Amino acid sequence: MPTQKTNDEFVSDLMMFSRRGAIIQPFVLQALKTFSEMVIAQHKSGELAEKMKTNWFVSADAWADCAREILEKMEAQYGPIKADIESER
């Protein structure tokens, strides 16, 4: 019986061995950026807390902090990005 991959193995496999080739990498990075920006915008408006109020595992604040961290690391790696994360810091 095959074992399930860890999250690290799954993401690495996705990024390195896609049937679409290397174009998967900017797609995944763009998806991370887009989702992170959406989470921050929803956190600012209060919508995120409302959506996550039944989620006992992760708070809206923690989720938004993850989004900010991703955008900060992407900016450090790739240069300035167009995201309004400064006002949330």
pLDDT of amino acid 84:
54
pLDDT of amino acid 81:
74
Q: Where are the domains of the chain?
A: 23-88
Averages of pLDDT over each 10 residues, the chain, 89 residues: 90 94 95 97 95 88 96 94 56
Q: Please, is 64 exposed, middle or buried when counting C-beta atoms within 10 Å of its C-beta (0-12, 13-18, 19+)?
A: buried
**Nearest Cα to Cα of residue 35 among 77, 63, 12:** 63
**Nearest Cα to Cα of residue 33 among 23, 80, 21, 55:** 80
